[in-house]
Amino acid sequence: MVSLSSYLIISMILFVTGITVMIGRKSLVAILLGVELVMNAAALNFVAYSRYMTDNLDGHVFSLFIIVIAAAEAAVGLAIVIRFFQIKETIHVDEATQLRN
Amino acid sequence: MFVQILFGLSALLTVGCAIALAATKNIMHSCVFLLGTLLGVAGLYATLGADFVATAQIMVYVGGVVILMLFAVMLTGGKDFVSKAQNLLGLAPTMGNKWTYSLAGLVSLVFILTNVKLISSIVKTAPAKTFTNEMPSTVSQLGHLLIKDHVLAFELSSVLLLGALIGAAIIARPKKNQ
């Protein structure tokens, strides 16, 4: 039987990769990709704990809500990216300086 | 036995595609690797007996979010780009240089160490739950949970989705002719 800690290790790798992508990449779309990875890591943890630690299905419900929220976040985030590209002609993060100072 | 094989394949797909996503420079390739990662996570849900969550993952993420990302990449130019911006010291752009990568590495190291500490204590102290090997369908139980215990969050998430989609349509509307 697959143990709980193997799921936790996979989720941890997903989370760390997502954080690395969020910090290291230059493109706004790549940062949104990192956010998706982090959300998937959290949802995977919820389902794994729901299977191994409890008898109820509350973790599945939380995962479903995470999926819904990720869909909403992706829609709004990509709309902002497209608007930013209309204004600045690029999606480089360092060009987003309008609110500086 | 089938569960172990599915777990191994899904774990390989998830971890490999996630690392390839972080390693590749091309944003279009990153989106395709994200697709592989999400499919792998759906496989992991399947090995955990979460059939409905796995299906929702494939339908919403693989069918919706990744396609949306690909559209955004194609609408904003998928080729490599350079920034004209400079920070205060006149150095190279602040994101994506070696300082930000070393910061990311440090954050990752701290996170991994914290998690190893937490997980080891949890796994040692938690009583091993005994469960049967067959995995019954969770759909009817999930439906009861959603309309009984979690009905407020359920309705709020529908309002959130409606608001997010209207807001996205307003934000991304075409520029007026000036």
pLDDT tens track for B162-171: 999 999 999 8
Nearest to A61 among B96, B145, B165 (CB): B145
Looking at the domain assignment, is residue A15 inside a domain? yes
Say yes or no: A88 contacts chain B, CB-CB below 8 A: no
Range of the domain at B35: 1-78
pLDDT by residue (tens digit) across B107-136? Answer: 778 777 776 766 666 666 665 555 555 677
Q: Which segment of A2-6, A93-97, B62-66, B113-117 scores lowest on mean pLDDT? A: B113-117
Looking at the domain assignment, is residue A57 inside a domain? yes
Q: How far is B41 from chain A (nearest CA, A)?
A: 7
In degrees, rounded to 5, the angle at the alpha carbon of residue A77 between the alpha carbons of residues B178 and B94 is: 90
Q: What is the mean pLDDT of chain B?
A: 80
Looking at the domain assignment, is residue B150 inside a domain? no
Looking at the domain assignment, is residue A60 inside a domain? yes
Tally of domains in chain B: 1
- What backbone phi and psi angles, to 5 degrees, belong to B24? -75, 150
Looking at the domain assignment, is residue B24 inside a domain? yes
Looking at the domain assignment, is residue A101 inside a domain? no
Looking at the domain assignment, is residue B156 inside a domain? no
Contact A70, B65 (CB under 8 A): yes
Q: Write the CATH number for B42.
A: 1.20.120.1200
Looking at the domain assignment, is residue A14 inside a domain? yes
pLDDT by residue (tens digit) across B1-40? Answer: 788 888 999 999 999 999 999 888 888 889 989 999 999 9
Average pLDDT over residues A56-76: 92
Tally of domains in chain A: 1
Range of the domain at A61: 4-95
Looking at the domain assignment, is residue B68 inside a domain? yes
CB contact under 8 A, A94 and B161: no
Note the pTM of the prediction, 2 decimals: 0.81
